Structure 1
Amino acid sequence: MSTTSPPRPVVDGHRVRAVQLRPWSTAAVVMSSVVGLLAFGWPLLVSPEMASEHSADAPLVLALLLPFVLAVVLAEIAEGGLDVKAVAMLGVLSAVGAILRPMGAGTAGVETVFFLLVLAGRVFGPGFGFVLGTTTLFSSALLTAGVGPWLPFQMLGAAWVGLGAGLLPRARGRAEIALLAGYGALAALLYGVALNFAFWPFTVQGESAITFVPGAPALENLQRFLVYSVSTSLGWDIGRALTTVLLVGLTGRAVLGALRRASRKAAFDAQGRFEGQQDQPG
C-alpha cells in the first residue's frame, strides 16, 4: 500500500457523508417521501366515494409504503453509496436506538430515540439519517412486537427526522446544540401530528367536532383535525419534544464528539491505493 495519507472523507462543516445520496438513491428518497406525503394526507385528497368505500382497508393499503422505504436501503447498496463501514455504523446505531426506544415510548409522551436520530443525522449526513430512521423504527418494532399497519408511517416519519437533521445549516459549539435542540423539538411535534393525521379518520367516531367527514371541504376537515390533535395528543407530542430537547442538551456535545471521532477513524470515503497505482484519466 502507498505510504501517503488516504483522502479525507467528504465533510460538510461538521458532517461526514457516510451514505452518499447519488442519483438513484436520491430518486428513491424523493419517491418514498412524495408517496409518504400523499399517504399521510390522503383524507384531504381522496373523493368522498373512495373515502367511504376504503375506510376499513386503507391502513393496509397504505402499508405498502414499506417497500418504498426499504428501497432506499437497497438503492444505496446497489449503487455503492453504503459501504461496509457505513453498514456497521448503521447496525450499531440502529441497535442502540431499538434498545433506547422501549425505555420511554408510551410513558407520558417520553420518547428516548429521537435525539439519537437528530445527532447521527447531523454527523453522518441526510442519507445516513434517512436510512437510520427506517432501520431504527423497524428494529424497535421487531423487538417490542410493534409490527402493524402503523409501522411504515413510523418508519417514514423517523426517516424524515434523520434526513432533516442532516440538512441543517452549519453551526458550532453552543449554537449547534441550540440548533439541534430546536430542530428536535419541532421534528418531534410534527412527527406526532403526521402520525395522527394518517389514522385520524379511523379512530374517531361520533364526535362531530373532531370526526373526519368524507366529502367535506379540505379546510373544514383540517380544522376538525387540529381540534382532534389538541384535545387528544398534544400533551404526548409536547412530552416527546421536551424529552428530545433535554437529551440533546445534556448529551449533545458528548455524543456528537464520539460520533465524529468514529467517523474520522472510519474514513468512509477514503480509498486504498496500491504502490505504483496510477490515476485513470477522467
Structure 2
Amino acid sequence: MTGNATRQARAVRLGPRSIAALVLVSAVGGAALGWPFLAPPTSQVSAHAQDAPWLFTGLLLLLVAVVAATISESGLGPKAVAMLGVLAATGAALRPLGAGTAGIEPMFFLMVLSGRVLGPGFGFALGAVTMFASALLTGGVGPWMPFQMLSMGWFTMGAGLLPGPDRLRGRGELVLLAGYGFLAAFAYGTVMNMQGWPYLDPDGSPIAPDPQAGPLANLARFVAYCLATSLGWDLGRAVVTVVLTVTLGPAILKALRRATRRAAFESPVTFDAPTE
C-alpha cells in the first residue's frame, strides 16, 4: 500500500563530511570486528591477540565521538536535539525492562521506527546515544560499549535507508519494518559476538579463535560459537522486535510523523527582535 508522495522531513541531512566520517568509523569498526578473520597467523596483530581488542576499542570510541560531532555540525539543530533527547531517553528506559532475559529487549523496535521516520543520519546518532545512555543506566560500561554504540547506530541507520520512506505506508510498510527488524536483530547479535569472541582463550575452548588457524577455520569456529551461545538470545530479540513493530508500530509511526511535521526540522529557527 502506498500513500501520497509527500516528501518526509529529515532531522539531519547528511553532508559530505558526515558521510565521510560515517564511512571511516564503519571501516575501522569493521576492521576491529573482523581482524581475527583478516590477520594472517604471522602478523603482529595475531601475536598480540589479547591486546588488539583493547586498542581497537579506544580508537573506535574516539571515532564514534568524531562522527557524532560531525553529524551535529552538519545540521542537528535545537529541535532535532530535543527530539534526540526524548527518543534516546525513552529507548534507554526501555532497555532494562526485559533485563536482557532471553533476548527480550524492547528498545530495538523503537530504534527501527525512529530510524524509518527520521532518516539515516538522525538514526545513527540516536542509536549511538541511546546505547550510551542505557549503558550508564544499567551499569553496562566496558570495552564492549563502543561496539554496542556503533552496532546500534548501524541498526537504526539501516532502518532509515529502507526504500519508500515517502510513499510506502500501511501494511506494506509494517511488513518491511518487521522483516528488517527480524534480520537486523540477528545481525546486531552477530556483530556483538564478533566483539567478544577474540577474548576467549584458544586453549580453553574449541569454539574460541585460534591465532594459528586460517580465516576459514576461524570462521567455522565463530559460527559454532554463535550457535552455541547466542542463537536463542538473538531469536528472542528478533521475535520481540517483530511483535512490537506490528502491534505498536502504526500508532508510533503516526505519532513520530506528526511530531516531525510540527517540528519542521528543515525550517530555520528565528527569533523576533524584542519590542519596546
Q: Which residue of 2 aligns with 1:262?
A: 259
Report how far residue 76 of structure 1 moved. Answer: 2.1
* Structure 2 Cα separation of the partners of residues 211 and 255 of structure 1: 42
Report how far residue 211 of structure 1 moved. Answer: 2.2
Contact 2:39 2:46 in 1 (8 A): no
Q: Which runs of 5+ in 2 are unaligned?
A: none
Q: Which residue of 2 aligns with 1:279?
A: none
* Structure 2 Cα separation of the partners of residues 35 and 94 of structure 1: 25
Contact 1:59 1:150 in 2 (8 A): no
* Structure 2 Cα separation of the partners of residues 272 and 232 of structure 1: 50
Answer yes or no: is 1:164 the counterpart of 2:164. no
* Structure 2 Cα separation of the partners of residues 53 and 188 of structure 1: 33
Contact 1:115 1:248 in 2 (8 A): yes
Report how far residue 198 of structure 1 moved. Answer: 1.8
Q: How many equivalent pairs are there?
A: 264
Amino-acid identity (%)? 55
1:36 pairs with one of 8, 29, 42: 29
1:128-175 deviation line (CA, Å, top 9, x unaligned): 100001000000011111111000110000000111000001121001
1:183-239 deviation line (CA, Å, top 9, x unaligned): 001110011011101221213544654121113221111011111111111000101
Report how far residue 60 of structure 1 moved. Answer: 1.8
* Structure 1 Cα separation of the partners of residues 211 and 7 of structure 2: 48
Q: Which residue of 2 aligns with 1:46?
A: 39
2:144 pairs with one of 146, 150, 159: 150
- TM-score, normalisation: structure 2: 0.90
* Structure 2 Cα separation of the partners of residues 274 and 233 of structure 1: 53
Report how far residue 37 of structure 1 moved. Answer: 0.8
Contact 2:40 2:214 in 1 (8 A): no
* Structure 1 Cα separation of the partners of residues 21 and 172 of structure 2: 33
* Structure 1 Cα separation of the partners of residues 5 and 209 of structure 2: 44
1:70 pairs with one of 65, 70, 73: 65
Answer yes or no: is 1:92 the counterpart of 2:89. no
Report how far residue 15 of structure 1 moved. Answer: 3.7
The alpha-carbon distance between structure 1 residues 13 and 186, as it changes in their structure 2 partners (threshold 3 A), is farther
Answer yes or no: is 1:119 the counterpart of 2:109. no
Contact 1:18 1:86 in 2 (8 A): yes
Contact 2:111 2:123 in 1 (8 A): yes
Q: Which runs of 5+ in 1 are unaligned?
A: 1-10, 276-282
Cα RMSD of the aligned pairs, angstroms, is 2.0
Report how far residue 78 of structure 1 moved. Answer: 2.4
* Structure 1 Cα separation of the partners of residues 146 and 192 of structure 2: 10
* Structure 2 Cα separation of the partners of residues 92 and 66 of structure 1: 23
The alpha-carbon distance between structure 1 residues 236 and 253, as it changes in their structure 2 partners (threshold 3 A), is same
- TM-score, normalisation: structure 1: 0.88
**2:245 is aligned with what amino acid?**
V
1:239-265 deviation line (CA, Å, top 9, x unaligned): 110111111011100000000000000
* Structure 2 Cα separation of the partners of residues 42 and 199 of structure 1: 12
Report the more deviating stretch, 198-207 or 128-137: 198-207
Contact 1:209 1:227 in 2 (8 A): no
